[in-house]
Chains A and B, each alone.
Chain A
Amino acid sequence: MISSLNSKKLAPWLGLIAGLVLCCLLALFFNESPWHVFKILTTSFYNSKFDLGLTLFYTTCLIFSGLAFAVPMKAGLFHIGSEGQILFSALIAAYLGTAIVPFDNSFSFVVSVAIILISSMAAGAASAILIAFFKILKQAHEVVVAIMLNFIFAAVTTWLTVNRLQSPTSQNPETALMNESFQFLKNDYLKTYFENSPVSVFLFAALGCCVLLHYVERRTFIGYKIRAYGANPHAATRLGFSQNEILMMSLGLAGVFSAGVGLTEVFGNAFQYKIGFSPQYGFLGIAVSLLAQQNFLGIIGSAFLMACLHKGASDLDLETERLTRDFSRVLQAIIIFSVAASYYIANLKRKK
């Protein structure tokens, strides 16, 4: 019993290793040395303080997007709509950052910052609750609605950026920089320590979210309720749990976490909205969450691992002849595949 439980918990990590090995072997096809590729992938995250800071920035984003997938997953929902929510919430934050000019006192400043953060999270939550809305009204499949919404949000944010909010001083499609006073995270302790890399205090926010969720899941009733709904929606409604409440809550929370990614970028790094800033964090979160088997504390570890690999992959551009930063996607894909397959193999062993 104990050993079988362990094998189930270990399976995705073995899958990860298998995936990594596969990826490195894949490099052979492109005339690159697998060992060389492996070394870059696994070591480049601590080449310098800046690099480690960058990796921690990716970690922050991946924790948030991992949570955005994991929370609805507990309720049995496949939430692949995170990408759209990230774009939307990031744009809202960037827009408000340029639109709001705080009075010259600290109270007004704190209120302004709160407005920006809350609006951005509300935007994320609202766009995620749209999915719940379709599911409640028409039993539409959440995946289908999420795909449609991803495209709609991508189109809307692009249009808004280019046609309404374009920075007059820039050639790139991006909004103007936020009001000077909102760029206070430029002097963030972490940023300074890591030689001005993108990492910011949002890392602690992300870690805090994981710990908090872990605690809430085990110690309060909400976690059990959501899990029960995920395990058997019919039985959960028979016990009197409200389906609407559970769907709205789990997807709403997911939206808030998606907004976490947006804020990490806009408020903690770029201080503006740049089109194409997200290397599809929303989808990378799926791999993060699967690897951790939706365990909230495990997500910290898997997000850091994925961030290291992502960072490593983006260095392939410089370090190898033919492999490009796109290798990160290949890596993510193969990890998703091998983790998915590892569940099956672990289950097989359990039955024997």
Chain B
Amino acid sequence: MAYIEFRNITKSFGDCVACHDVSISIAKSEIHSIIGENGAGKSTLMKLLGGIDPVTSGDLFLNQKVYKPESAQDAFKNKIAFIHQHFVLAEQLSGLENILLSYSSSRFSLMTKNSSEVLTAANQILTRFNWKIDLNKLVSRLSVGEQQRLEILKALLQEPDIIIFDEPTAVLTPQESEELMQFILQLKKENKTIILISHKLNEIKSVSDSISVLRHGRLVQSKPAQELSIEQMAELMIGRQVVKSTALERPPQREAMLSVPNTSISLLKSEIFGVAGIEGNGQSLLISRLLQEMTKLNIKYGDITEDRIKLSVFEGMNLWEHMLLKHKNEFLSKGLIFELRLKKVTEDLVKSWDVRPPDIDKPLSEFSGGNQQKFVVGRELWNQPQVLLAAHPTRGVDLGAQEHIHKSLLEFSKHKKAVVLVSSDLNEVLYLSDRFVILNKNKIYGPFNRGELNEQQIGLIMAADNNEGIKLAGEL
């Protein structure tokens, strides 16, 4: 019997449909995982349950009763706890203060804080799970793992029946992830219903009772976990067979074009050089080293940044202005801007990359994520750079655009160019790279050739605490 039920749920933001006619039912005291690629609609679906966003159409049922949350507070009252991927903690307040907030009501009241009671309750939970967090410390002084435990502790103190974990292991070290999975199993024993959102298939397979797979906002499968293999899950998620590495046609002898200082990595002409690893293991350091080196050597480079909104999009500036900012030298004559050519070039770019709508006077920030990314990739490739730095090039992009971007990376690399592909999506790295390295805690392992390691081996290096005996290319 369904405990939580999503019935024909559709959620759209303006013209963009994030979830389309999704129906899932979840039984009491089970661990139900929702998997899917970035942008598949997993988090959106959970935000509906958590009362953060309203449903566009369809119904939610909780324990056979219609459930229509209007705010996060409603979810809270219905004993649903939401552990966000990005912690909702005030960093400059202590752990205890962060917990105390959940005990407050929206009514204006001058009640004094019941610190000591809450502290006792919190300590009880901490000892039950054998956790150690100094609750009087400021949150900013706690490690990421401790912050997440604090977030969980905050939720558990409200004695929820349903706990939603949104990508809980994205920022955790491998041991922390393992401990978290054990913890989730323990919660299940205490009769809690758990919804786990992730795209890490291994960990999901090990703990889940049932699994729902989302792809492009649609439910493609919902089954008991034992009926799905990891390969099947991957296939369902991506919508095609996981590509096994096939050798690309490459010239036998390739010249080196650039080496990264303090490491033994050198980029070759005509190759895609992959950088795999869990996010936050030194990717940004490696990227900034590369950028510095290329600026120093005056190498023409394209830069698809790791965080589009934060690093590539200028709010309120339109497409041709973005074009100008990147390729200023191409459009300046005697210090003045050659506007006609600039607009013409931008229009052509928009056409060839099928950016929609093809309006070059519209601010880039008002395009959808996929179209933004297409424009950015097109812009970075426009002047035939020697090196292309592509960090998470297909993040938040629909399948069609993804194919387009992958193809153009491959095409680009053929012409004596180098691509550095930084991605936390292992499939992407394996699919595209000629050689790749693996980042783990600011250490660079590799480089490995295509086919030298299989997915499991790579996963181990990415996650392991200690990678002794594996060749090291340097440290960041």
Contact = CB atoms under 8 A, between A and B. Distances in A.
B373 to A, nearest CB: 14
Contacts of A227: 314, 317
A227 B316 CA distance: 10
Interface string B405-448: 00000000000000000000000000000000000000000000
A240 B296 CA distance: 12
Given A219-B337, A240-B295, A228 B317 contact: yes
B332 interface: yes
A236 B336 CA distance: 20
Contacts of B317: 227-228, 231
Highest count of chain B CB atoms <10 Å: which of A220, A227, A235: A235
Interface in B292-345: 295, 303, 305, 310-317, 321, 324-326, 328, 332, 335-337
A228 B325 contact: yes
Contact of B314 (A218, A220, A221, A231): A231
A331 B347 CA distance: 47
Highest count of chain B CB atoms <10 Å: which of A220, A225, A239: A239
B333 to A, nearest CB: 11
A242 B103 CA distance: 47
B303 A238 contact: yes
Interface string B138-176: 000000000000000000000000000000000000000
Nearest to B306: A238
B324 A235 contact: no
A48 interface: no
Interface in A223-238: 224-225, 227-228, 231-232, 234-236, 238
Contacts of A228: 314, 317, 321, 325
A235 B337 contact: no
A220 B324 contact: no
B241 to A, nearest CB: 36
Nearest to A215: B336
Contact of A235 (B295, B313, B316, B332): B313
Contact of A220 (B321, B326, B337): B337
A176 B310 CA distance: 55
A238 B324 contact: no
A235 B336 contact: no
Given A228-B325, A239-B326, A221 B337 contact: yes
* Majority SS at the chain B contact face: mixed
B332 to A, nearest CB: 6
A224 B323 CA distance: 11
Contacts of A234: 310-311
A224 B310 contact: no
Given A219-B337, A238-B303, A224 B324 contact: yes
Interface string A195-232: 00000000000000000000000111100110110011
A221 B332 contact: yes
Contact of A238 (B311, B321, B337): B311
Nearest to B308: A235
A332 B303 CA distance: 47
Contact of B305 (A221, A224, A225, A238): A238
Contacts of B305: 235, 238
A218 B321 CA distance: 11
B335 A232 contact: no
A107 to B, nearest CB: 32
A231 B311 CA distance: 11
Given A239-B326, A240-B295, A220 B313 contact: no
Interface residues of B, number: 20
A228 B312 CA distance: 11
Contacts of B325: 224-225, 228, 239
B315 A231 contact: yes
Contacts of B324: 221, 224
Interface string B367-383: 00000000000000000
A232 B315 contact: yes
Interface in A168-189: none
A220 B316 contact: no
A224 B321 contact: yes
Contacts of A236: 314
B328 A221 contact: yes
A232 B295 contact: no
Given A219-B336, A220-B337, A221-B328, A235 B321 contact: no
A219 B315 CA distance: 20
B59 to A, nearest CB: 28
Given A228-B325, A231-B317, A238-B303, A220 B336 contact: yes
B312 A235 contact: yes
Given A221-B324, A224-B324, A228-B317, A235 B335 contact: no
Interface in B75-97: none
A148 B203 CA distance: 56
A244 B310 CA distance: 20
Highest count of chain A CB atoms <10 Å: which of B303, B317, B332: B317
A234 to B, nearest CB: 6
A333 to B, nearest CB: 28
B220 to A, nearest CB: 34
B313 A232 contact: yes
Nearest to A235: B311
A233 to B, nearest CB: 10
Contacts of A220: 335-337
Contacts of B303: 238
Contacts of A219: 336-337
Nearest to A225: B325
Contacts of A231: 314-317
Contacts of B332: 221
B304 to A, nearest CB: 11
A165 B378 CA distance: 63
The 7 closest A-B pairs by CB, nearest first: A231-B314, A231-B315, A238-B311, A232-B314, A235-B311, A219-B336, A228-B314
Interface of B: 295, 303, 305, 310-317, 321, 324-326, 328, 332, 335-337
Given A227-B317, A235-B310, 8 more contacts: A218-B337, A224-B321, A227-B314, A231-B314, A232-B315, A235-B313, A238-B303, A238-B312
Interface of A: 218-221, 224-225, 227-228, 231-232, 234-236, 238-240
15 contacts: A219-B337, A221-B324, A221-B337, A224-B321, A227-B317, A228-B325, A231-B314, A231-B317, A232-B313, A234-B310, A235-B305, A235-B313, A238-B311, A238-B312, A239-B325
